[in-house]
Amino acid sequence: MENNLKMDRLRDRQNHSWDGMFYSGQRLDLLIVSISGAGIYVCLETLKYINDNHLYSSSLIKWAGGILLLSIISNFISQFLGHKSNLYDYLMCEAKLDAGDKISKKEQSEIDKYNYQSDCYDKATTILNYISAIFMSIGLTLLMSYFLITF
């Protein structure tokens, strides 16, 4: 009875990993991309205004746009890595389910390999998510600094 409960929990975890592969693109990352994209648009419109009116072009606005772009790029990379993390977690669960109660050394080795790969991708995803949020914050701070200093 307890073994069936354990297998049911493992199947639930596997299903959640499968769902997570598709959900990973709909989290806070969407906000980061939206806000950074809007910031880049403001930077480009400001540069256009500066150019049209022959005003002094500050490098601060260019830096802000570049850093906001880095935020979007790092976010896209983290999405890819998050997908890979969920994939390997799913494969690990599948290997455990296929092995059943008695896990051979070969099966355990495969399970450990998938678990290790999932953990590595998960750590990289987390780091890139933080980097993306930090880039967005720096870019917005530079953008606001430009407008507070200039106008």
Q: Compute, in degrees rounded to 10, the torsion defined by CA atoms 15, 21, 27, 29.
A: 160
Question: Using CA atoms, how far apart are residues 99 and 91, in angstroms rounded to an integer?
Answer: 12
The DSSP annotation for 17-68 comes to HHHHHHHGGGSHHHHHHHHHHHHHHHHHHHHHHHHHTT----HHHHHHHHHH
Residue 47 CA from chain centroid, whole number: 29
Secondary element (H or E) of residue 1: none
Question: Using CA atoms, how far apart are residues 58 and 146, in angstroms rounded to an integer?
Answer: 8
CB 101 within 8 A of CB 3: yes
Per-position pLDDT tens, the chain of length 151: 677 788 888 888 888 887 776 565 566 888 999 999 999 999 999 999 999 999 888 899 999 999 999 999 999 999 899 999 999 999 998 999 888 888 889 999 999 999 999 999 999 998 999 999 999 999 999 999 999 998 7
CB 135 within 8 A of CB 67: yes
Residue 145: which residues within 8 A CB-CB, separation 6 or more?
60
